[in-house]
């Protein structure tokens, strides 16, 4: 990386989210220019050849690198404590690129049985087509993980906290298991962002994000990020992303750079609102279970202040009743918007069994603890009293 990393490494995360990776530009613009260009001009044919050969630094073609994208990648590498980062076209491109960096036909992957629905589909269906097998187990059960490992296993993969029911896994324990078997660990850090959790600093090899969520924060971009060690990132960028092609648009990278300037203040508000909402739901007789690591009753609570700074802005709960009652409740929400995604200013409510986790088979969903009456809320930035009032009126409407 060709920037003043030493100086920037000393900054706090909230400062890095604003200034990290920024370099002076030609006209001294405060906001880094958007380099919306597919290709870059060579002074002469020799220079073009030298850039392709890797003998001269400089941009070639945006699928191989772009100055706007590079600023986002430097910022994320600094925030996660990584050697390097790569921005991708979506969170799923980040998940698939990270996995394909380490896996090939004949290899085996052990993954948590509760992950985002399309990560489940990728690991159980698409990778299977490529000859990469996957065993999914409960990552809270150390013995289950150990039993799933075979001589062909190369990677351990999980999200923590888990989408949609916020189970938290012990990252240091997973790293210990992986080290004993010489496995690569990949953690999806989407629900936390590096401001709340830094898995690489706990020994994880690769971290991935759906940047669609908190990093961008404004609901107008689909993107992903992978962070990791230099040799892994080199393979990911200059083999996997180069040849499979799932790179980010520079415009989307630019929007994420803008969004990240407010990441710290947004996350503080998301967490404050989610804590208050979780306490409200937990004390209400109509909600039989509330899943939020910020609650003392949640199994993940022991990790708050250790592995993760705060519990984040997503919570889930089971409404007293069946799936039809849950659907009816959702349909009566007025302020809370019925939509998937998370990490936006707007509070979003969705029904995981029929929406985000519909790629699961009913059996796999049951094993992962995703019940038919489970609802997930991505708590937004509104005044929390308005969100609570919306829940009250929805409950009153369904009787």
Which segment (42-50, 250-258, 336-344, 390-398) binds ligand LCS by CB under 6 A? 336-344
* Given 84, 107, 188, 252, the catalytic residue: 188
CA distance 221 to 90: 9
| Catalytic (active site) residue 360 | no
**Nearest distance, CB of residue 140 and ligand LCS, angstroms:** 17
Distance of CA 382 to the CA centre of its chain: 23
Is the Cβ of residue 290 or residue 316 nearer to ligand LCS in the bound state?
316
User: What is the residue whose two structure tokens read 């039989």?
Assistant: 288
Distance of CA 103 to the CA centre of its chain: 20
Which tokens in the block code for residue 189? 């850090």
Tell whether residue 373 is a contact of ligand LCS (CB under 6 A): no
The binder of ligand LCS chosen from 83, 341, 359, 388 (CB under 6 A): 341
Tell whether residue 372 is a contact of ligand LCS (CB under 6 A): no
Confirm if 317 and 326 have CB atoms less than 8 A apart: no
* Given 63, 173, 242, 328, the catalytic residue: 63
Tell whether residue 206 is a contact of ligand LCS (CB under 6 A): no
CA distance 84 to 206: 10
Which segment (3-11, 86-94, 237-245, 290-298) binds ligand LCS by CB under 6 A? 86-94
The binder of ligand LCS chosen from 59, 66, 116, 353 (CB under 6 A): 116
Neighbours of 120 (CB within 10 A): 23
The radius of gyration computed from the CA coordinates of the chain, to the nearest angstrom, equals: 21
Which segment (254-262, 284-292, 319-327, 339-347) binds ligand LCS by CB under 6 A? 339-347
| Catalytic (active site) residue 63 | yes
- CB-count exposure of residue 79 (10 Å: 0-12, 13-18, 19+): buried
The binder of ligand LCS chosen from 16, 85, 92, 225 (CB under 6 A): 92
Burial of 368-390, coded b for 16+ CB within 10 Å and e otherwise, reads bbbbbbbbbbbbbbbebeebbeb
CA distance 91 to 341: 11
Q: Which residue is nearest to ligand LCS (CB)?
A: 91
Interhelix angle for 384-398 vs 323-331, to 10°? 120
Tell whether residue 246 is a contact of ligand LCS (CB under 6 A): no
Tell whether residue 96 is a contact of ligand LCS (CB under 6 A): no
- The C-alpha angle 161, 365, 157, rounded to 5 degrees, equals 45
Tell whether residue 163 is a contact of ligand LCS (CB under 6 A): yes
| Catalytic (active site) residue 220 | no
**Nearest distance, CB of residue 222 and ligand LCS, angstroms:** 5
CA distance 36 to 252: 10
Is the Cβ of residue 95 or residue 103 nearer to ligand LCS in the bound state?
95
Catalytic residues: 63, 116, 188, 213
Which positions lie near ligand LCS, rule CB under 6 A? 90-92, 95, 116, 119, 159, 163, 188, 190, 210, 212, 222, 224, 340-342, 356
């Amino acid at each position: 990386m060709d920037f003043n990393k030493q100086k920037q490494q000393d900054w706090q995360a909230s400062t890095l989210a604003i200034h990290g990776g920024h370099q002076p530009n030609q006209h001294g613009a405060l906001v880094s220019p958007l380099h919306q260009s597919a290709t870059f001009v060579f002074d002469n044919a020799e220079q073009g050849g030298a850039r392709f050969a890797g003998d001269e630094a400089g941009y070639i073609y945006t699928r191989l690198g772009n100055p706007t994208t590079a600023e986002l990648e430097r910022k994320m590498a600094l925030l996660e404590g990584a050697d390097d980062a790569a921005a991708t076209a979506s969170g799923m491109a980040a998940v698939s690129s990270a996995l394909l960096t380490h896996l090939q036909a004949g290899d085996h992957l052990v993954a948590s049985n509760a992950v985002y629905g399309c990560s489940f589909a990728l690991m159980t269906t698409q990778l299977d087509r490529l000859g990469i097998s996957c065993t999914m187990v409960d990552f809270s059960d150390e013995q289950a993980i150990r039993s799933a490992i075979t001589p062909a296993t190369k990677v351990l993969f999980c999200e923590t906290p888990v989408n949609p029911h916020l189970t938290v896994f012990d990252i240091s324990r997973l790293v210990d298991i992986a080290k004993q078997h010489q496995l690569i660990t990949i953690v999806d850090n989407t629900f936390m962002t590096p401001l709340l959790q830094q898995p690489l600093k706990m020994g994880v090899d690769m971290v991935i994000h759906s940047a669609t969520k908190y990093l961008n924060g404004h609901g107008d971009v689909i993107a992903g990020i992978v962070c990791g060690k230099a040799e892994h990132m080199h393979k990911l960028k200059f083999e996997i992303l180069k040849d499979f092609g799932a790179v980010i648009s520079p415009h989307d990278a630019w929007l994420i750079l803008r969004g990240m300037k407010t990441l710290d203040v947004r996350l503080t508000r998301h967490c404050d609102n989610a804590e208050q909402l979780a306490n409200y739901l937990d004390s209400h007789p109509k909600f039989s279970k509330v899943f939020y690591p910020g609650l003392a009753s949640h199994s993940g609570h022991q990790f708050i202040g250790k592995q993760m700074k705060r519990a984040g802005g997503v919570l889930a709960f089971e409404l007293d009743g069946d799936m039809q009652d849950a659907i009816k409740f959702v349909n009566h929400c007025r302020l809370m918007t019925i939509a998937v995604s998370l990490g936006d200013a707007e509070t979003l409510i969705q029904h995981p069994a029929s929406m985000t986790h519909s790629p699961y088979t009913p059996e796999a969903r049951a094993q992962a603890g995703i019940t038919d009456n489970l609802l997930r809320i991505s708590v937004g930035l509104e005044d929390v009293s308005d969100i609570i009032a919306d829940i009250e009126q929805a409950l009153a409407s369904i009787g």
